[in-house]
Amino acid sequence: MHLCELNIRGWRNYEELRFTAEPGVNLIVGDNAQGKTNLLESIVYLGSGRSWRTQKSAELIRFGDAFADLEAKVFSEGREQTLRSVIFPGRRPRQLWRNGVKKKSAGELAGVLNTVLFCPEDLLVLKSGASARRKLGDMALCQLRPNYDAALAEYNRLLEQKSKILKDRFEQPAWLDILPEYNLRLCQVGALLISYRARFYESLGKAASVYHGQFSGGAEEFTLDYHTVSTVADPFASVAKLTEDLQSHMESHARAELESGQCLTGPHKDDFDVKLSGLSVKTYGSQGQTRTAAISLKLAQRELMKRESGEEPVLLLDDVLSELDPSRQDFVLNQISSGQVFITCCEQGRFTKLGQTIQIRKGQIV
Ligand code: ATP
Ligand code: MG
C-alpha cells in the first residue's frame, strides 16, 4: 500500500498543503519547527484516526482555524481509495470518510493506510516508563485489530468513569452503588485486552528476535515477556477465565481502592520487558543494545502488519536516522528497501539519493 496524494488544510501549522508522494522513499527536509513531524502526524491520523502526540482535537487544528481537513488518495487492496478526516475543536465529533462513505469509528478505516511510525523517543522505549511501552503496543494493535481498538476505547471510558466515582466517593456516596457494575464490565473488557495483547506480544517478540539476531550477528538472544495483572496465571487462557482472574484481583483490592480513591487493579498498568541473553534491557542494556532492540521491535511491528494484511505498511521515520550511527542507519535502510517510506531530517546529508525530496518551510513546500 502507498499514499499517492495528500491534501491537508487547517492542520497544525499548515494552512494548505498538497503534494504527490513517491511509492518509494520520500525525504522531508526542513529546519526545526517547520512542520515535518506535523506532516507525518497527518498521515498517521488519516490511516488510524489518532495521533500519537495528543488526544485533544483542538491541538490538531491550526490556530485561528475552525476545523482541520485531511484528504488522501491511497493505493491499497489493489485499487485507488480515498480517506478523509475533518476535525473540529471541543465536543463536536470528527467526521471520517472512506471512499466517500462516512464512517462511525476509526476501526472502520483499518487496513486502508497502515502506518508504522518510528521516532527518537522510540529508541529509548525500553528504558522509559511503562506507559511509553503500552502506547507503542496499543498504537500497533489498534491498527491490526479493529476490535481491540473498540475494546480499548470502552475500557478507557469505563476506567475514567470509575476514577470519577472513586474520587468523588465522599461528595457523591450514592454513586458507589453502581461501582460493581463498572467493575464487572472493566474485568470483561480488560480480559479481552489481555487476550489480544498476549498474542500480539508473542508474535512481536518472535519477529523482533530474528531482526536482533541478524544485527548482533547472533551474539545476543532477544526475548520479550508480557506482564499483566498478577492473578493472571496464563494470559492465553479463555476470556472467561481471564475475567475471573481479574475479578479476584479486583476483589482483593476493593478496600484499598476505596481508601485511596484510585483505580489500583486492571490491565491499564500492563508492561513488557525485553531481555538480551537473559538480561533486562531496562536495567542492564547499554545505549547501543537499547537502540538496536528498539529498532528490532519497530521492524517486527512492520513485519506483523505486512503478514496480516499482505501489504507493506507505510513506514514513517521521524528524525530517527540522524540519531543512529552509520552501521545502524545502514541496517535500517537495508531492511526497508521495499515499501513506501517517509523520512524526515534537518539535512539531506547522505540520504538525498534515496528518493524524492520535499523541502518544508513554515508549513509550505519550497
Ligand atoms: P523538529 O525538526 O524540531 O522536529 P518539525 O519540523 O518536526 O521540527 P513540527 O513538530 O512539525 O516541527 O512543528 C512545527 C510547528 O508547528 C511548531 O513550531 C508548533 O508551534 C507549530 N504548531 C503545532 N500545533 C499547531 C497548531 N495547532 N496551530 C499552529 N501551529 C502549530
Ligand atoms: Mg519533528
The larger pLDDT score, comparing residue 25 to residue 347, is at: 25
The pLDDT of residue 338: 87
The pLDDT of residue 184: 97
The pLDDT of residue 211: 95
| 118-146 average pLDDT score | 92
What is the value of pTM for the model shown? Answer: 0.89
> Candidates 8, 12, 39: which one to mutate for ligand 1, based on the most atoms within 8 Å of Cβ?
12
Looking from the CA of residue 64, the nearest atom of ligand 1 is 28
Q: Are 357 and 30 in contact (CB under 8 A)?
A: no
The larger pLDDT score, comparing residue 164 to residue 334, is at: 164
The pLDDT of residue 58: 96
- 173 contacts: CB under 8 Å, gap ≥ 6: none
The pLDDT of residue 326: 87
Mean pLDDT of the chain: 94
Q: What is the DSSP string of 154-201?
A: HHHHHHHHHHHHHHTTTT-GGGGGGHHHHHHHHHHHHHHHHHHHHHHH
Q: Rounded to the nearest whole angstrom, what is the distance from the C-alpha of residue 12 to the centroid of ligand 1?
A: 7
Q: Rounded to the nearest whole angstrom, what is the distance from the C-alpha of residue 36 to the centroid of ligand 1?
A: 8
Instruction: Give the model's confidence band at 337: pLDDT under 50 very low, under 70 low, under 90 confident, else very high.
Output: confident
Looking from the CA of residue 35, the nearest atom of ligand 1 is 11
Residue nearest to atom 30 of ligand 1 (CA): 13
Residues with CB under 6 A from ligand 1: 12-13, 30, 32-38, 59, 61-63, 319, 346
The pLDDT of residue 266: 97
pLDDT tens-digit map of 182-204: 999 999 999 999 999 999 999 99
Ordered by where they begin, the domains of the chain are 1-114+314-366 (3.40.50.300)
Q: Which of 16-20, 106-110, 135-139 has the lowest mean pLDDT?
A: 106-110
Residue nearest to atom 16 of ligand 1 (CA): 13
Residue nearest to atom 12 of ligand 1 (CA): 33
| 211-222 average pLDDT score | 92
- 70 contacts: CB under 8 Å, gap ≥ 6: 6, 7, 8, 9, 11, 42, 45, 46, 83, 84, 85, 86, 87
Residue nearest to atom 2 of ligand 1 (CA): 32
Residue nearest to atom 10 of ligand 1 (CA): 37
Q: Rounded to the nearest whole angstrom, what is the distance from the C-alpha of residue 4 to the centroid of ligand 2?
A: 22
> Candidates 37, 38, 343: which one to mutate for ligand 1, based on the most atoms within 8 Å of Cβ?
38
pLDDT of 146 > 90? The answer is no
Q: Are 324 and 292 in contact (CB under 8 A)?
A: no
pLDDT tens-digit map of 59-114: 999 999 999 999 999 999 999 999 999 999 999 999 999 999 999 988 888 889 99
pLDDT tens-digit map of 244-265: 999 999 999 999 999 999 999 9
Instruction: Give the model's confidence band at 143: pLDDT under 50 very low, under 70 low, under 90 confident, else very high.
Output: confident
pLDDT of 334 > 90? The answer is no
Q: Which of 208-212, 224-228, 263-267, 319-323 has the lowest mean pLDDT?
A: 319-323
CA separation (Å) from 258 to 108, 158, 185, 255?
38, 17, 18, 5
Q: Percentage of the chain surpassing pLDDT 70?
A: 100
pLDDT of 355 > 90? The answer is no
> Candidates 37, 316, 361: which one to mutate for ligand 1, based on the most atoms within 8 Å of Cβ?
37
pLDDT of 349 > 80? The answer is no
Q: Rounded to the nearest whole angstrom, what is the distance from the C-alpha of residue 11 to the centroid of ligand 1?
A: 10
The pLDDT of residue 353: 77
Looking from the CA of residue 61, the nearest atom of ligand 1 is 27
Looking from the CA of residue 38, the nearest atom of ligand 1 is 11
